Amino acid sequence: MRRLFAFVFLVLVVMAFGQQIKGSLVIVGGGNIPQVIEECRLIFQRFIELACEGRKKTVDTVKIGIMPTASSRPIQSARSFMEDFKKFGVKEENMYIIPIALFNDDSTEKVDESLWRDNANSEAVAREIEKLDGIWFVGGDQTRYVNTLLKDGKETPVLRAIWKIYEEGAVLGGSSAGAAIMTDPMISGGTSFDALLRGITYEDDGSPRLFITKGLGFFKGYIVDQHFSRRGRFARLLVAMADQNIKKGFGIDENTALIVKRMEEIEVVGMGGVFLLDLSEASAEKVGGTWSFERVRISYFEKGDKFELSTGRYTSNPYRKLIRANEYYESQWHSVTNFMEIKNIITYDVVDNTRPEVIVLAVEDVTKPDTAFLLRFYKDKNTRGYWGKINEVETYGVLNVLMDLKPVKLKIESF
């Protein structure tokens, strides 16, 4: 009787928490991912390695699917990635262009790819996906993935097959739009100032607001944003997190991958960095449609860094050393346009700085006094900075820089 009770209890636990994820994610923040640069080659290399590890394959036998649904040129986009994977030893006969698309590709004469729009309901396509060890989602419009793989809010046979292989050990990867879909909800439009000043929409209504919609949710419990530093999306991610009551979000730079292994540990590969925004201890308030924040924690990771999701344990690239009492910089007032300089602020101006805090002015339009925000970055006992050089290039790791953000009014006077 006790054994029966123990078995029933175990079944209930599994039902409650779901099957443990054995697969991995390679979430790339956009960009061209040029393979002539070693850091970018490592992104594809890690994707192939994880596909082999997760399903116990070799590079000669590993099977990779390419999902071109987000692209307006699906075959051209898919073939481009096929060429990339071939350079790492994946055989062309082991690659499968998943036939789900919304647009005809003019590079093919005998096939109208727009007829593939309902193939997510195909059991035959789902069976082919179950043979795969990895799937790469190409860039484009992320809502096309959601609108085809989910029908009336329900998983299609193809999406169920993707979840099945992911839970069993397959790797899912993607760049830009292929990165956005990894979480649920997902960010689909708007700028940082749109988010702070103009509110949020949950429908694609064409308005200049932050657009939040349903994603596919492979990176459960988190939200990501891509093209992060280049397009100044720092505040956009903050507002999305606050609106959706998500405590931790990741901002991924271009040509950079956030690798998530079995939903346990993250690793950074590539040329740029990954930001971790933490609202666990923060307060967020919206007054008159405008947002303000206090005590947001910001961490920043670069290539070679690892971070355990459950414990918060950080492992720096061994090239870096903890910054102690030898700060090199003394920052003064620092203005920032559209949130694109957050990395430099939290590294040079905060953790590697003699000053206890730095004040930053973010301005959308200096001719409009109601479009400015004051940001205060500062340290506490949990703040850490790591610095080093890799191939003569400075590299940083940052833990727990604090930030407050509030709207201010500017008064512009001519001399």
Separation between Cα atoms, residue 382 and residue 124, nearest integer Å: 53
pLDDT tens per residue across span 65-76: 999 999 999 999
pLDDT tens per residue across span 332-356: 556 676 799 999 999 988 998 888 8
**Looking at residues 160-174, what average pLDDT do you find?**
98
CA angle, residues 104, 29, 256, in degrees to nearest 5: 125
Pairwise pLDDT comparison (38 vs 61), residue with the higher score: 61
Separation between Cα atoms, residue 71 and residue 14, nearest integer Å: 38
CATH (one of 2.60.40.1180, 3.30.1300.10, 3.65.10.10, 3.40.50.880) for 23-296: 3.40.50.880
Comparing C-alpha atoms, which of 235, 251, 288 is closest to residue 404?
235
How many C-beta atoms lie closer than 10 Å to residue 15's C-beta?
9
Mean pLDDT of the chain, nearest integer: 90
pLDDT tens per residue across span 176-232: 999 999 999 999 999 999 999 998 999 988 889 999 999 999 999 999 999 999 999
pLDDT tens per residue across span 359-415: 999 988 877 777 789 999 999 999 999 999 888 889 999 999 999 999 998 877 776
CA angle, residues 133, 135, 137, in degrees to nearest 5: 175
Peptide bond into 185 cis (omega under 30): yes
Q: Are 401 and 299 in contact (CB under 8 A)?
A: yes
pLDDT of residue 330: 66
pLDDT of residue 329: 64
Separation between Cα atoms, residue 383 and residue 300, nearest integer Å: 11
Separation between Cα atoms, residue 236 and residue 240, nearest integer Å: 6
The model's confidence at residue 33, banded by pLDDT at 50, 70 and 90, is confident
> Is the CA virtual torsion 190, 196, 198, 200 positive or negative?
positive
Separation between Cα atoms, residue 222 and residue 369, nearest integer Å: 34
pLDDT of residue 325: 62
pTM over 0.85: yes
Q: Are 293 and 405 in contact (CB under 8 A)?
A: yes
> Is the CA virtual torsion 80, 85, 86, 90 positive or negative?
negative
pLDDT of residue 287: 85
pLDDT of residue 14: 39
pLDDT exceeds cutoff 90 at 167: yes
HSE-up of 12 (CA within 13 Å, CB side)? 6
Parallel/antiparallel/unpaired status of strands 171-175 and 24-28: parallel
Separation between Cα atoms, residue 297 and residue 93, nearest integer Å: 47
pLDDT of residue 17: 42
The model's confidence at residue 326, banded by pLDDT at 50, 70 and 90, is low
pLDDT of residue 38: 82
pLDDT of residue 327: 60
